Structure 1
Amino acid sequence: MPQLKLLILGGTGEASALAALLAGNPDFSPTLSLAGRTAAPRLPEIPWRRGGFGGIPGLTHYLLTHGIQALIVATHPFAVQMRANAAAAARATKIPVLMIERPAWQAETGDHWVPVPGMAEAAAALGRTQRRVLLTIGRKDLAPFVAAAWHDYTIRSVDAPPSDALPPRANIITARGPFTEAADRQMLIEHRIEIIVTKNSGGKATSSKLLAARALKLPIIMVARPAWPDITGLNAATTEDAPGALAWLEAIRHAASPAKRGV
């Protein structure tokens, strides 16, 4: 049975875990695509590429010219454009597509969450009184907080944001998860944080800040996940993790085999 050629749109722990499961597996010919936003990404032991595709037309062209038979969307839950492009390209090519969606975080007893739909609402929820704020929202969504310039911000990100994109009163921590509750609790104390703004990314790699905030009784402004792209009419499925993705790929490969098709 020939190898199944697949493209993984990555940038998450789930993508890395799937790449590790596929490394050396003779049944599959995978390529991991990284967006290129992180300066020093963790590179897999499978073939990989870095950079964009050029929108829906570019991704569609890549899928067709490289003979891709299955598409795995393992991007960050907030990578709205890439997910939409993937759904559109899968629709155009009729290639099976799997969306990996890690479970969202849920508030538990002792949490004080303020749910908001977006970054502008998160900045507004900080109020007009000066506060010491921890931002763990990445590098791209700082503009609303630049406008709320009276707060003191500590920004934790894998890579430092450009200096011209920062609020005027900002301290930068460059760090890559996973983190521990003890380390996050110490960080919150050292920086005298009064409130946290974060995205509901889900997963375990950065959930320690939630536990630390609960222990210190700190409020969290939680930005809700964006809506999924429309996958109606696609040969599409969803799963929560890398083992689920591997099981889906094995089923796709079996369905595509000549014996299964009666050839």
Structure 2
Amino acid sequence: MFSFHRKNMHNKISKHSSIFLAIIASAIIVVLGSAMNVAYAQTLTIETDKDSYASGDEITISGQLTAPTINQPILIRVFDPDGNFVRSEILDAAADGSYSYTFTSGGPLMAKSGTYRVQATYAGTVNQETTFEFEAAEGGGWRTIQAEIGGQNHPIEYMITGSGNRLVSITGNTETATLVATLSTASDGTLSLRFNEEIFDADDFFVAFADGIPTNYELPAGPGATNELHIDFEWGTEEVEIVGDRIIPEFGAAIAAIVLAVAIVGIIVATARYGKFNFVRKEDW
């Protein structure tokens, strides 16, 4: 009788143990299966249209996104041979998951020759990278142009990329705290400006327009008490306007505030219409 009771208890324990192990195994399978499904569900590729480029060449970055639902933008970032940030772009993939981004190489942030790294990120977790070789222009560097502001000339350093592109002049409006750069362009490119904060400055952020349309720009920290802007423009652009808060000589703050407010409204409208616009606050340097 005692032996029979022990046998029944042993059978019950074995049965419960088997059920418990089966539950654990099922849970592991479900977790692994979900992880595999997530990993499989979101994939991202990235490539450049060529393996190497020279200063002034157009670089096209493209790839394919595969995801159950494409509901977030793709972040593209470019880094120089030393790992320093060069540029970034936020773009939406097409309905089929494809994406493409083109920019003109060169400028002060691409002053080094070597291997550049391009990174694409989706949903903050899916990352892919590729590289390309870049040959920087010899003898390239900052040039100086005299900007006419308030009837006087003030030096502003500049660089401009893109084949056939040229900076014609820069003028400043002391009433509206704006700088206007007149361009002659034959291709897409980037206008880089560097100037002392005493000449032109902004409390929080600048606003840039290319032929009246808000355009993206980069605002890295300039050396010393200087501002440094890198403004993208398209072929055919004739004028780049930059709105700030102060310009030499000092001007009426009320007018500048009105101009900046109108510019911000323009950004909001352009964002709704064109779907993208970025500015960088000075405290984010």
Please tell me the TM-score bracket, short chain as reference: under 0.3
- TM-score w.r.t. length of structure 1: 0.24
Q: Which has the larger radius of gyration?
A: 2
TM-score, structure 2 normalization:
0.23
Structure scoring higher RCO (CA < 8 A, sep ≥ 6) equals 1
Instruction: Give the structure with the larger helix fraction.
Output: 1
